[in-house]
């Protein structure tokens, strides 16, 4: 069907597939998007639409659109205006281009109805008033934090910067004046809120219910400039039931338009589907969706930010935070920063994540679906207490599995062991059931650690790997080092090695975050490689994508995407797929793998299971066995130098104050520390730019193909040692020949 764009109408229509149930799956429906009414109606056919036999509708006010980054044709609409609060509808287009146009049109409609002007003759709803007061309180706290940073910068100035000090003094004078005005305004808002609270219910009864269930829709046409393939634009049909309930407090002033047609449309109280009353026909719901009463209660709690008068202002109008827990203290009374990293899990912070629901909602309202989140400043409370560089180190939490690759006698067994280590490595990188974001490493940040192998007895007299990544470690320890080598784009490079086993690993990863509506996707662009030097083999591998799901409630993490492991020398390869949870059933954290040899048409090994649980292997001879069960594998603790002995650019030392703020639940302290780190980065960039100084990496160098490698890898050091040994042997042989010749001459 040819696409049309009628600038005189605000109605869009076309065919889409809609998920019905697990029995009937996807079914074609005819959809009508009415931008004026904020309603997406659907019918079993275009003919039924002409007769007004609506199958169901989705109210778009307050709805949230979601897309699946692994599938370019499906999208969802989650609406809270339904009986089954909330309700998720699933749709499918013919291709990615068509989905893009539907999503953009729906986003515009949702945005329009989220910012509808209030009728000045009617008071706004109380819950919106409460939300605005809470937002004002949050902005007040941000303003206070910024003023504190300015004060600190003024204190840091030397005595010879009198002119700058005067500038800061003037800025602070004006900022504090504005701060007092904002505090006064918020207090006045709280007083006004208290005055109207007693009469609010009566006002709601008079303004929030449409008269006789009929909605007089806005007559001003809204133009939709997005043409849709397989979609036609049409004039509003008075026989089509496309009404949406709008209280009189949010109706727009009417605009006279001779071409507009007044519509009297029956108002659906909720989003609904005609299959709602039949158990065999239902729209898919997320498996962790709470009951309607629980959902409503949780949403009210999540959107509640304590008011200024209740908890955010003291008697002298100074903001106060939730009472923080005491930090860990050493025997001498100083803060034990190393103890901040002793706890492995952040699960206890799940409740605090839900309490910030309105902040997340406000943040997401500022971004579009598909938008790159790399430069979006995220709130401090979603941060995990470790740097991204340290998270990469946790993928080696089973060091025995990694180093045993070199012990396997055949190429086939070595490939299988590489696959086992790879598939078992990801669960250790996730310490919490709640999806949180590691710190973005600053440019030049470094992380170092090492592991003692549980299968090796610690030998204190073992020779040190003085030329290795960590000079104070011996050759029987697995060492790891990482560096943030680029900021735009954000690229991390890391390297691990075990000299005795003659095995090493290198990688560089560029993370790209994308907003997907109800989730956030993180693409890991880059590659890694396992080098087994004893056999001159290199296994090149790629990384899965990560997803933070259910970001409006309690977010959870999952991995998704196809990855590969290839050894060019032996011809062995593995195709691995991390399966994201389907919306119509299925399990989370599923993984599949097929391993094949050189010239094989079929895989000799197939693996299925959970990457955070048990995985089952099936061989070509029909044998089935447990390939690995990460729940039964011990996670070996990485060893890190005490913070007092670390360099200033090492991860834990860089982020120590942020980590302490998060650990003791003092978000003000964590935010201030994070802002200070970011400001230092900006100052350093400005200084290098003004003085024409280029950035120099410390441990890694860029390759010709745009990748990154460790400057002194094990392979290079082995070759240097072999060359030195060969040279010494040749020199020794030459000396012996000369001595023998001299002896022979003397005898003669």
Q: Are residues 29 and 111 in the same domain?
A: yes
The CATH number that applies at residue 279 is: 2.30.29.30
At residue 223, the 3 state secondary structure works out as coil
Kindly state the helix (H) or strand (E) to which residue 344 belongs, with its residue range: none
Report the distance separating Cα 498 and Cα 496, nearest Å. 7
pLDDT tens digits along 690-738: 999 989 999 999 998 889 999 999 888 888 877 777 766 666 666 566 5
pLDDT tens digits along 458-483: 777 777 877 889 988 888 899 999 99
Task: Please give the mean pLDDT across all residues of the chain.
Answer: 74
Residue 210 confidence (pLDDT) above 60: no
Residue 228 confidence (pLDDT) above 50: no
The CATH number that applies at residue 394 is: 2.40.160.120
Residue 54 lies in a domain: yes
pLDDT tens digits along 433-462: 566 788 889 999 999 999 998 877 777 777
Give the model's pLDDT for residue 653: 93
DSSP result, 598-659: TT-SS-SEEEEEETTSEEEEEETTS-EEEEEEGGGSPPPPPB---GGGS-TTBHHHHTHHHH
At residue 560, the 3 state secondary structure works out as strand
Q: Residue 309 has what DSSP assignment?
A: I
Last residue of a domain, one of 255, 288, 321: 288
Q: Are residues 203 and 246 in the same domain?
A: no
Q: In sequence order, what are the residues at sequence separation of 6 or more whose Cβ sits closer than 8 angstroms to the Cβ of residue 746?
A: none
pLDDT tens digits along 321-343: 445 567 777 777 778 888 877 75
Report the distance separating Cα 108 and Cα 455, nearest Å. 60
Q: Are residues 140 and 270 in the same domain?
A: no
Last residue of a domain, one of 710, 728, 743: 710
Give the model's pLDDT for residue 532: 95
Q: Which residue has the higher pLDDT, 181 or 262?
A: 181
Report the distance separating Cα 267 and Cα 246, nearest Å. 9
Q: Are residues 706 and 586 in the same domain?
A: yes
DSSP result, 349-416: GHHHHHTTHHHHHHHHTTS-TT-B-TTPPPPGGGEEEEEHHHHHHGGGS-HHHHHGGGG-SSHHHHHH
The parent domain of residue 184 ranges over: 126-207
**Number of domains forming the structure of the chain:** 3
Cis peptide before 86 (omega within 30 of 0): yes
Q: Are residues 414 and 519 in the same domain?
A: yes
Q: Which residue has the higher pLDDT, 643 or 377?
A: 643
Q: Are residues 424 and 489 in the same domain?
A: yes
- State the pairing for strand pair 437-439/383-387: parallel
Q: Are residues 665 and 529 in the same domain?
A: yes
Give the model's pLDDT for residue 492: 94
Residue 573 lies in a domain: yes
Residue 233 confidence (pLDDT) above 70: no
Report the distance separating Cα 30 and Cα 15, nearest Å. 5
Report the distance separating Cα 606 and Cα 345, nearest Å. 33
At residue 578, the 3 state secondary structure works out as strand
């Amino acid at each position: 069907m040819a696409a049309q764009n009628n600038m005189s109408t605000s109605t869009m229509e076309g065919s889409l597939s809609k998920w019905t149930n697990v029995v009937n799956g996807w079914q074609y429906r005819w959809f009508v998007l009415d931008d004026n009414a904020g309603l997406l109606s659907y019918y079993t056919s275009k003919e039924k639409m002409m007769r007004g036999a609506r199958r169901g509708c989705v109210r778009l006010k307050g709805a949230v659109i979601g897309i699946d980054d692994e599938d370019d044709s499906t999208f969802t609409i989650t609406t809270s205006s339904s009986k089954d609060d909330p309700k998720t509808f699933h749709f499918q287009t013919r291709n990615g281009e068509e989905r893009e146009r539907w999503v953009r049109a729906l986003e515009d409609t949702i945005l329009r109805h989220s910012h509808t002007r209030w009728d000045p003759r009617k008071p706004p709803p109380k819950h919106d008033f409460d939300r605005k007061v809470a937002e004002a309180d949050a902005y007040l706290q941000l303003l206070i934090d910024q003023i504190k940073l300015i004060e600190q910068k003024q204190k840091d100035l030397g005595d010879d910067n009198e002119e700058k000090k005067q500038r800061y003094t003037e800025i602070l004078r004006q900022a504090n004046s504005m701060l007092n005005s904002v505090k006064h305004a918020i207090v006045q808002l709280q007083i006004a809120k208290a005055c109207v609270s007693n009469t609010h219910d009566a006002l709601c009864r008079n303004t929030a219910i449409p008269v006789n269930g009929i909605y007089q829709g806005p007559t001003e046409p809204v133009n939709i400039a997005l043409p849709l393939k397989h979609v036609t634009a049409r004039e509003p049909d008075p026989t089509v039931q496309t009404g949406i309930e709008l209280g009189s407090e949010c109706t727009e002033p009417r605009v006279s338009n001779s071409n507009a047609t007044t519509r009297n449309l029956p108002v659906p109280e909720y989003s609904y589907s005609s299959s709602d009353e039949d158990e065999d026909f239902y729209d898919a719901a997320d498996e962790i969706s709470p009951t309607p009463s629980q959902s409503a209660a949780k949403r009210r709690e999540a959107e509640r930010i304590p008011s200024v008068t209740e908890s955010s202002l003291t008697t002298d109008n100074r903001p106060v935070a939730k009472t923080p827990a005491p930090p860990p203290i050493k025997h001498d009374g100083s803060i034990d920063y190393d103890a901040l990293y002793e706890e492995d899990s952040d699960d206890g912070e799940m409740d605090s994540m839900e309490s910030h629901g309105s902040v997340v909602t406000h943040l997401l309202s500022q971004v579009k679906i598909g938008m790159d989140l790399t430069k979006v400043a995220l709130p401090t409370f979603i941060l995990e207490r470790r740097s991204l560089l340290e998270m990469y180190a946790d993928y080696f939490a089973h060091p025995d599995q990694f180093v045993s690759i070199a012990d396997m006698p055949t190429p086939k067994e070595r490939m299988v062991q590489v696959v086992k280590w790879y598939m078992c490595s990801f669960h250790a990188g996730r310490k919490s059931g709640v999806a949180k974001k590691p710190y973005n490493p600053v440019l030049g940040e470094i992380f170092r650690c090492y592991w003692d192998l549980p299968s090796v007895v610690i030998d204190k007299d073992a020779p040190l790997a003085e030329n290795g990544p960590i000079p104070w470690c011996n050759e029987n320890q697995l060492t790891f080092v990482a560096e943030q080598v680029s900021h735009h784009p954000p690229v991390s490079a890391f390297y691990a090695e075990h000299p005795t086993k003659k095995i090493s690993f290198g990688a560089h990863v560029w993370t790209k975050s994308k907003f997907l509506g109800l989730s956030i996707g993180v693409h890991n662009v880059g590659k890694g490689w396992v080098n087994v030097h004893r056999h001159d083999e290199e296994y090149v591998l790629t990384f899965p994508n990560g997803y933070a799901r259910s970001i409006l409630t309690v977010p959870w993490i999952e991995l998704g995407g196809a990855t590969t492991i290839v050894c060019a020398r032996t011809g062995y390869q593995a195709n691995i797929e991390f399966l994201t949870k389907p919306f119509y059933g299925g399990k989370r954290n599923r993984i599949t793998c097929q391993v094949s040899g050189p010239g094989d048409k079929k895989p000799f090994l197939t693996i299925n299971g959970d990457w955070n649980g048990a995985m089952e292997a099936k061989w070509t001879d029909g044998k089935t066995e447990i390939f690995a069960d990460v729940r039964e594998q011990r996670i070996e603790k990485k060893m890190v130098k005490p913070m007092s002995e670390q360099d200033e650019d090492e991860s834990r030392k860089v982020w120590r104050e942020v980590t302490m703020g998060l650990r003791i639940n003092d978000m003000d302290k964590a935010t201030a520390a994070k802002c200070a780190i970011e400001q230092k980065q900006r100052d350093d960039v400005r200084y290098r730019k003004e003085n024409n100084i280029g950035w120099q990496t410390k441990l890694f160098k860029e390759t010709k193909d745009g990748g990154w490698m460790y400057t002194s890898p094990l392979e290079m050091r082995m070759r240097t040692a072999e060359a030195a040994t060969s040279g010494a042997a040749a020199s020794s042989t030459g000396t012996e020949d000369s001595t023998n010749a001299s002896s022979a001459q003397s005898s003669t």
